[in-house]
Structure 1
Amino acid sequence: MNKKSIFIIILLSTLAFGYYSSTGANEVSMRYTSNPQLPTILPSSEWLGTPLDSKGRFVNLYHPFESSFGDLIKWQTTKNPQKEEKKSENRRLLVELDSIIWKGSDDYLVWLGHATYLFRIDGTVFLTDPLLLDNTFLKRDSDLPFPVHHMPRVDFLLLSHNHRDHCDEKTLRFLAEKNPNMKVLTGLGLQTIIESWLKGHTVQEAGWYQQYTLLDSGLSITYVPSRHWSRRWLWDDNQSLWGGFFIQNGEKSIYFMGDSGAGAHFADIQRHLGSPDYCLMGVGAFKPEWFMHQAHISPSDAISAFNTLQGKFFIPMHFGTFDLSDEPRMEPWDILVQNQSRIDGALVEPIIGRNLMADR
């Protein structure tokens, strides 16, 4: 591979997924922030808010992000030991649209691939981290269960962080045009990135353990920590927050992990908010583990995190739709099936288009 090819690969990877290098939580000079207009569910009497380093960048609670640009180069220029296995992989995620889902007023939870879930609770429709249309960097390896213009009405759009496989400009512009009353719930700092894509839609930003105030009574959404990082361009490393969502009503609860490495924050979430019924857990884009482990949890570690959360249903995501890493497309699912006896709950096969709440 010549130097020009290496440069192009590194440049595309940087623009597509961003990169960050910092001592993070090891900084001596720390300060804390939150949205003063939102209530905070205090995890402890010592909670001061979402931490920032001395340069005003968000940092993880327990694990500083210590990878370097050199690690990115090393990954991109090192031969993938599973290259041939990955190349010969011919399995795809199953797609089965159940048209009955959209009829009536029952709750539903439908995977659309990667980190995109469409779900309805008490008549309100939510959509997480949508990437529905191919863009310059990312092409789908799995089909949507319906033509994108048949997307049901969306009341609330939940954006976990600013990376391009979770926050896609083309998709957000499409959704904004189609849903004039849609509201956006996200983390601190993301509004400046997305507001020009919207059409005056309401955006509410939260810090970790803050609850959004735009929902009807009886339904709450809390923005919760993850172990990750953010970057959209070359100059905005960790200037917007990353996290997950904990959705609750009187009957059920859903935990959406977003992107995360392993960490003590899973125990914190369970201790402060309770055990979720449906755990939407990322399991893909985890190889090589020496490089990915700080940002993307492995299937095995995701099982441990699910058990820590004490959830009822383990629903995997973040695999099979986009080619982001070294493992074959369906390997994360295979690992989960092989280790199903370790899961203290029910493993749900995430068939795209199926109501994953049905009969549960």
Structure 2
Amino acid sequence: MMKRYANLDDVSNKKSFIDMKKWNKERRSKVKDLTVNIEQSPDKKMAELLENKTQTSYTWIGHSTFLIQLNGLNILTDPVWALRMGFQKRLTEPGLAIEQLPYIDVVVISHGHYDHLDFPSIRKIKGNPHFFVPTGLKRLFQKKGYQNVTDLNWWESVEHKGISIDFVPAQHWTRRSLTDMNTSHWGGFVFRSGDETHYFVGDTGYFSGFKQIGERFEIDTVYMPIGAYEPEWFMKDSHINPEDSVKAFLELGAKEFVPMHYGAYRLADDTGPEAQERLIQEWDPLQLPKEQLKILLLGETMFK
């Protein structure tokens, strides 16, 4: 019998057929403006990214895909360039074309859902990257012909070419077929190099793990999901809303908040601009420093 994985707080993400019908009925009653979307950066640093070997940078490609340059390594998170997700067209073009990227050294996969693990995109990546995946996914990668694969359990850490990579909990679930629900794990990744620590949260609801992660690591930059939360009675176990993402940021004690997981695919009923607006409406009344919130345009790069 295949092992099935569970959440840290034993939160179940299973929804019934009745729940699905209720959500679909709600969705039909809502009118959303899908013509206003997250904009592309007018100043893309493609030449600098190709040449950079020394400076830390991060570039938002879209959804949960980032190019992170750290300690001379090019790292891709959840690389997905798919122009469709199920029956829905992608709402925004990726910030950079996959052909424009430098050679990639490391790819991390937070979990097996198709909006985070897209093999057609992976096949186009330049270089011979090492893949770091949740336990249970290595076999699928090997079946697809990839051998440079390390699978990790929660709280496991590995050293790779001068950086430490830690796999940490998230509150989510996964499935790629009718029979494989939760047969692989899910989580986030912490990258440590010298005095820099970057935390890619992956896909998650709000949960007690943020406090635990904040106690273990001194986080400089957190890449935090803020979208796909509506309706919240259906989504909250799996997708954190903007208000709770700020709460999680404070519990982590991080220095920079980089929002993600919004604006590319219509996975839920909220829109990208709505998620962004709710994030700002939560941030400003708390009088948090504006320079700590790094809202990126698609394809925008921040150098540190």
Confirm or deny a common fold (TM above 0.5). Answer: yes
Tell me which structure has the larger Cα radius of gyration.
1
**Structure 1 residue 195 and structure 2 residue 195: aligned?**
no
CA contact (8 A) 1:227 1:260 kept: yes
Using the TM superposition, give the Cα deviation of residue 327 of structure 1 relative to its aligned residue in structure 2, in angstroms: 1.1
How far apart are the structure 1 equivalents of 2:278 and 2:79?
26
**Structure 1 residue 334 and structure 2 residue 271: aligned?**
no
CA contact (8 A) 1:221 1:246 kept: yes
Using the TM superposition, give the Cα deviation of residue 170 of structure 1 relative to its aligned residue in structure 2, in angstroms: 1.0
**Structure 1 residue 76 and structure 2 residue 20: aligned?**
no
CA contact (8 A) 2:65 2:76 kept: yes
Matching of residues 72-221 of structure 1 within 5 Å: 72-80=20-28, 83-84=30-31, 86-87=32-33, 89-96=35-42, 97-99=44-46, 100-105=48-53, 106-135=55-84, 137=86, 139-175=89-125, 178-179=126-127, 181-198=128-145, 200-213=146-159, 215-217=160-162, 219-221=163-165
CA contact (8 A) 1:89 1:328 kept: no
Q: Residue 143 of structure 1: SS of its match in structure 2?
A: coil
CA contact (8 A) 1:161 1:167 kept: yes
Q: Residue 277 of structure 2: SS of its match in structure 1?
A: helix
Q: Which amino acid aligns with 1:279?
A: V
How far apart are the structure 1 equivalents of 2:192 and 2:276?
27
Note the alpha carbon deviations across 1:230-282, whole angstroms, 9 max, x for none: 1111101110000000111112111111010011000011112x231101000
Alignment-derived partner of residue 278 in structure 1: 221
Q: Residue 174 of structure 1: SS of its match in structure 2?
A: coil
CA contact (8 A) 2:37 2:91 kept: no
RMSD: 2.0
CA contact (8 A) 2:13 2:238 kept: no
Matching of residues 222-301 of structure 1 within 5 Å: 222-272=166-216, 274-301=217-244
How far apart are the structure 2 equivalents of 1:251 and 1:275?
9
Q: Residue 236 of structure 1: SS of its match in structure 2?
A: coil
Q: Residue 300 of structure 1: SS of its match in structure 2?
A: helix
How far apart are the structure 2 equivalents of 1:187 and 1:335?
31
- 1:185–1:66: structure 2 CA closer, same or farther, 3 Å change rule? closer
Q: Residue 76 of structure 1: SS of its match in structure 2?
A: helix
- 1:307–1:193: structure 2 CA closer, same or farther, 3 Å change rule? same
Q: Which amino acid aligns with 2:299?
A: G
Give aligned pairs, total.
Answer: 296
Find 1:354's aligned residue among 284, 300, 303: 300
Structure 2 unmatched ranges of 5 or more: none
Structure 1 unmatched ranges of 5 or more: 1-53
Worse overlay, 57-66 or 258-267: 57-66
Note the alpha carbon deviations across 1:104-151, whole angstroms, 9 max, x for none: 422211010000000111111100001113246253222233332222
Alignment-derived partner of residue 256 in structure 2: 313
Note the alpha carbon deviations across 1:285-333, whole angstroms, 9 max, x for none: 0000000000000000000000000100110000011111101231111
Q: Greater share of strand residues, 1 or 2? A: 2
Q: Which amino acid aligns with 1:332?
A: A
CA contact (8 A) 1:182 1:201 kept: no
- Which TM-score applies when normalising by structure 1? 0.77
Using the TM superposition, give the Cα deviation of residue 103 of structure 1 relative to its aligned residue in structure 2, in angstroms: 2.6
Q: Residue 112 of structure 1: SS of its match in structure 2?
A: strand
How far apart are the structure 2 equivalents of 1:80 and 1:308?
37
Q: Residue 212 of structure 1: SS of its match in structure 2?
A: strand
- 1:174–1:103: structure 2 CA closer, same or farther, 3 Å change rule? closer
Using the TM superposition, give the Cα deviation of residue 78 of structure 1 relative to its aligned residue in structure 2, in angstroms: 2.9
Note the alpha carbon deviations across 1:33-88, whole angstroms, 9 max, x for none: xxxxxxxxxxxxxxxxxxxxx9731001113215323222321233455x32x235
- Which TM-score applies when normalising by structure 2? 0.91
How far apart are the structure 1 equivalents of 2:65 and 2:188?
13
- 1:344–1:309: structure 2 CA closer, same or farther, 3 Å change rule? farther
Worse overlay, 103-112 or 202-211: 103-112
Q: Residue 339 of structure 1: SS of its match in structure 2?
A: helix
